[in-house]
Structure formats: structure tokens, C-alpha cells
């Protein structure tokens, strides 16, 4: 079970890195459009499923409650990404022109500062995934010992 936990946590880190790359694909695509982020949007679901599977594997590997919770955290933080988009609306002044999908065509000032938290939350997801991977690696290295919790 320790090996499964390690394999899944490795996949999780790789998938988070892919998520950053897919953000880059969208950002540098011309013409700039929503469709260019389709891989980024689809992979966010893969990332969420991987985080849940990693948390289950952590439980089966008896990694400790703290590590299980930490492995699950990226699945919750992915929802925070959507929450950041939704809350940004609070900072968009009334009357701002919007496209056919209702997305504001002007995002500046407070709305711009707030929506950029998406990137910091993405970095948090990466950091949490790396910590989980390091704990899984430590647990796998001790697989022949008596079961040990690798975190609080």
C-alpha cells in the first residue's frame, strides 16, 4: 500500500505541473480565447480525482490523519479556484461590458488583484502535493519497519 501511495502522490505532483503548463498553453494562445484553456479546465478534474485517490491510498497505507487530510486538500483547493472566480464578480463594477458568456471584458483594479489569487492558490496546491509526495516517499522507505505515521 505504501508503494501505491507513493505512485499516486508522484502522479499528483506531475499532474499539478501539467496544470501549470496547460495554463501557459492558454495564456500564450492567440487569438486569446476561453477555448485555449480547455486542457487546463479538463485537467483540473483529473487533478481532483487524483487527490482523492491519493488520500484513499494514504489511509490504506496508514500514513496518519494529517497526511491523509493533506492529500485530500488539493481536491478542496481546486474548488477554491472556482470560488475565486465567483467572488471576483463582487469587485466588477456594474455596467462593465460582457461577452456572450457573461464574462466581463474589462477586469482591472480590485477585480484584477483578487482574481490573481488563482495563481497563488495554484502554488499552494503544488506545495501541498510536494509535501504529500515527500511523506509518501518517507513512508515507502520505512515499509519494512512497523507501521509509522509520517505526519501529525
Helical residues (DSSP H) of the chain, grouped into ranges: 2-28, 38-60, 65-88, 109-115, 117-141
Handedness of CA 103, 107, 112, 114 (dihedral sign): negative
Q: How far is CA 73 from CA 2, 11, 50, 80, in A?
A: 19, 15, 11, 11
> CB neighbours (10 Å) of residue 59?
17
Candidates 1, 23, 39, 84: give the one binding ligand HEM (CB under 6 A): 23
Q: Does 92 bind ligand HEM (CB under 6 A)?
A: no
Q: For residues 44 and 67, which CB has a smaller minimum distance to ligand HEM in the complex? A: 44
Size of the site for ligand HEM (CB under 6 A): 18
3-state secondary structure of 37: helix
Stretch that binds ligand HEM, among 3-11, 40-48, 54-62, 93-101 (CB under 6 A): 40-48
DSSP 8-state class, residue 148: -
Please say which residue, 1 or 87, places its beta carbon nearer to ligand HEM: 87
Place of cell 502522490: 9
Closest approach of Cβ 11 to ligand HEM, in Å? Answer: 14
**Closest residue to ligand HEM, Cβ-based?**
122
Binding-site member from 114, 122, 132, 133 for ligand HEM (CB under 6 A): 122
Q: Which residues bind ligand HEM (CB under 6 A)?
A: 16, 19-20, 23, 26, 34, 37, 40-41, 44, 47, 78, 81-82, 118-119, 122, 125
Amino acid at each position: 500500500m505504501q508503494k501505491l501511495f507513493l505512485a499516486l502522490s508522484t502522479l499528483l505532483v506531475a499532474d499539478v505541473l501539467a496544470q501549470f503548463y496547460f495554463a501557459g498553453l492558454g495564456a500564450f494562445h492567440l487569438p486569446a480565447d476561453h477555448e485555449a484553456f480547455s486542457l487546463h479546465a479538463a485537467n483540473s478534474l483529473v487533478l481532483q480525482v487524483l487527490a482523492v485517490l491519493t488520500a484513499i491510498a494514504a489511509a490504506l497505507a496508514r500514513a496518519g490523519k494529517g497526511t491523509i487530510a493533506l492529500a485530500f486538500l488539493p481536491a478542496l483547493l481546486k474548488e477554491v479556484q472556482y470560488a475565486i472566480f465567483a467572488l471576483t464578480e463582487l469587485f466588477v463594477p456594474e455596467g462593465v461590458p460582457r461577452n456572450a458568456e457573461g464574462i466581463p471584458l474589462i477586469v482591472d483594479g480590485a477585480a484584477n488583484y483578487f482574481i490573481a489569487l488563482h495563481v497563488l492558490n495554484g502554488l499552494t496546491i503544488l506545495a501541498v502535493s510536494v509535501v504529500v509526495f515527500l511523506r509518501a516517499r518517507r513512508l515507502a522507505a520505512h515499509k519494512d519497519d512497523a507501521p509509522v505515521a509520517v505526519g501529525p
